[in-house]
Structure 1
């Protein structure tokens, strides 16, 4: 029953959400209440995520994994940010609020920037593999990518590439992005229906049925 109850709840609330979303009268009256419940459930999900994080890194430390130093750093960051954030919230006029803001601005934000900057290398590697002109699709991608890169830094006589770049970004790219979003929307719809009907049960995790 530990798998059946979640499936029943998923079906009931999925059906309710579907009805509320497509019913103008019920949408206006009850949808905000449903969203409030969703936010409350998300708060519990954060607690479960923290517990899972703690268990994962505690296990790495217990086994003396070669990278357990990063687990210690994770624990220190988790405890310090949580403690300072709680103190700053309940003592708004104290120094704790300023410490929290500084930690977020001068520690968290640079770390995020570092992580995203590393993505540039992966993007460059993927672009190198994709831009090899082995087929006409790859050739078209190579030519358009070259024009866009030149157009972004164009000056003087090369400004004609800037106009071509704007056209590429406005017409073909917009059309492709719309097609991708439509595909994503259809995929989300299909997956949601499969979850509501109990066909897709991967969200339940392992265990016996």
Structure 2
């Protein structure tokens, strides 16, 4: 079973259906309906996403591991391992692209997130930002379209989910503002907890439509 971006609600859809809680925080960016139609939050299986590119939270060997990394390698089949063997690994913050083989997506961006350390918070933030920005740039380089992100470094690498999600979303916002080639960014989350975190943070970076003015009856009641 596969899921295409057209099957997944956009932020504009989620705001319209009230699926994203109202936030009292002041947005960091202006409201832009066109941008809200290019971003999604989806709780599902990234190996079933039929997109132009998916982003794998890889380790530095690029040869597979646990969690999402292992799931992607298993679902893609042995040819993915063979291609990754020839890439020579990757540094933290670096991204390399391969075919997707038996997956429904066309390409895989393998990005190496930082192992979180509170004593190196700024360095970790810069490296994580690079994971997202280089993945987006490579998606553009390969023709754009849709890209699905796993939540990089928030599993065994220990990056606090709130801070990591802010970096993911803000990097996406600035990238989409600068270029039209990416039609959809899909944040693929595994748990209800992670979905709730994304939904709580996203209004600051992709605000909902301004509240409509009250009707005459409401204003005079």
TM-score range, shorter chain: under 0.3
Of structures 1 and 2, the larger Rg is shown by: 1
Structure with bigger strand share is 2
Tell me which protein shows more helix as a share of its residues. 1
